[in-house]
Amino acid sequence: MTITDAQTEHRGNGPLPAASSSCDVLVIGGGPAGSTAAALLAEKGWSVTVLEKDRHPRFHIGESLVPMNLPILRRLGVIDEIEAQAMFKPGVEFCGRHHTGPGTTFYFDRAGDGMDSYAYQVRRSDFDEILLRNCVAQGAEVVEGVKVTSVEFGEDESSLVRTRDESGVDREWRARFLVDASGRNAFLSTRLGLKRKNPQHNSAAVFGHFENVERRTGRDEGNISLYWFDHGWIWMIPLRDGAMSVGAVCWPDYLKQRKGSVEEFLWETIQLCPGVHERMNNARLLGEATATGNYSYESERMWGPGYVLLGDAFAFLDPVFSTGVYLAMNSAEKGSAAVDACLRSGKTEEAPLAALETEVRRGLRRLSWFVYRFTTPAIHDMFLSPRNEFGMVRAVIAMLAGRVFGPRIDVLPLFMFKASYYLTVALNWSRSRALSRRRRDNLRLTVPDNTGPGRVET
């Protein structure tokens, strides 16, 4: 079967043609998921090749990490290098619709249970480069400036991968196992027809890096600030070099109103949120503003004979709680163990891959409950005036720290939090009804991919 950029073509089951290079594992994409999987598989002694279409360091959005990232960074041996260029992030600040001045801060040191009490804000160009160079140090081959254009699977589950480099030169690669970590390009998922728009969530983002943005002070300087506003929510992520990442995740009906450039729209959006606007009176955009389209999606399956989809290449959830990089690296860490089992047995092993898919889907489901409801008035009130009955605050902080996998989830406190949410909704039904109608209408809208002048994420 050949899967190309332009088409999905089915082929006979004959042997695959020879290729100029071969390896045990071929990884599409050198982002956090690809680099993590490549490093861990190379460490186990497999021959691993990573093909990356860009050249690192390259810009990427998604700068705020969660404490659960830290054990993986330690395991990869890169924590000191990351820490040297990162901003210390002890917590998450939530600010209301009409809020100016500081909001309500949840500090990770209240999460307990031996979890790390802080995380980092990172410039992704530096962070991703450290991870990519680390997989070379572990023995993987990394080839940059090479875009995967087609994949063909043979009857023995191996794959033939075709690429085109920056000079237009085509090349073929053979691999025993294929790891798709191509991020939101979702290479295999798209071409195999597995990618599904999330039926419960529909939004998109506009963002940029700015200088001269007012920061919080003292211990709070490195916290992420999240602001609600009438058309979604806005993040402010302070980076160590003084820049601030600012972005708005918006409802499609609002995005459709845009007339000017992406940059003009970002500034107009900032003005709609008094708290953010106040901190950006003297701000200046560094580089270009960017827009993303078609936000949340999931793939129908995570693996098949000879391949697995990791990180955003499998699913993408609105990163309101800064979990994207952690979810990508976690799926890569666990996915590399499953791929190792397949390589050892010489065939695709259903048990470890199915267990991986179940766990990843469970974690996404746990987070989704909060993500889908984040813009509701009830969550707004509950985060701004938190109540700690049944340990609800600690449980929410643990979730914000990224604890969404495994058996140590705070079942009772989270159940009570959800019960309080539904009670709050019921008691304020008229307020909630308008929002739920808008949400329903927006689920039917298509987020405009072509957002006009300005950079659009590809």
Across 343-374, b (16+ Cβ under 10 Å) vs e yields beeeebbeebbeebbebbeebbeebbebbbbb
Residue 178's φ and ψ, nearest 5 degrees, are -110, 125
Q: How far is the CB of 66 from ligand FAD (least distance, A)?
A: 7
Among 150, 159, 203, 292, binds ligand FAD (CB under 6 A): 292
Least distance (Å) from ligand FAD to the CB of residue 61?
4
Q: Which residue lies nearer to ligand FAD by CB, 184 or 256?
A: 184
- The reply to whether 402 sits near ligand FAD by the rule CB under 6 A is no
Which residues are CB-contacts of 363 (< 8 A; sequence separation ≥ 6)? 327, 330, 404, 405
Angle in degrees, CA 192, 135, 329, rounded to 5 = 55
| Nearest Cα to Cα of residue 444 among 108, 200, 280 | 200
Kindly tell me which residue out of 1, 16, 19, 61 binds ligand FAD, with binding defined by CB under 6 A: 61
Q: Which of residues 172-231 bind ligand FAD (CB under 6 A)?
A: 181-185, 187, 205, 207
Distance CA 299, CA 305 (A): 16
Quote the least distance from Cβ 30 to ligand FAD, whole Å: 5
Total site size for ligand FAD, rule CB under 6 A: 39
Q: Does 3 bind ligand FAD (CB under 6 A)?
A: no
CA–CA dist 117, 119 (Å, integer): 7
Tokens encoding 53: 């279409």
Q: Which of residues 242-281 bind ligand FAD (CB under 6 A)?
A: 247
Nearest residue to ligand FAD by CB is: 31
Q: How far is the CB of 49 from ligand FAD (least distance, A)?
A: 11
Q: Which of 67, 91, 252, 311 lies at the binding interface for ligand FAD (CB under 6 A)?
A: 311
Question: Contact between 143 and ligand FAD (CB under 6 A)?
Answer: no
82, 122 in Cβ contact below 8 A? yes
Nearer to ligand FAD, 119 or 425 (CB): 119
Minimal CA–CA distance to 73: which of 60, 62, 88, 83? 83
Asked if residue 270 lies in contact with residue 244, where contact means CB atoms within 8 angstroms, the answer is no
- Residues in contact with ligand FAD by the rule CB under 6 A: 28-34, 51-54, 60-65, 147-148, 181-185, 187, 205, 207, 247, 292, 311-313, 319, 322-326, 328
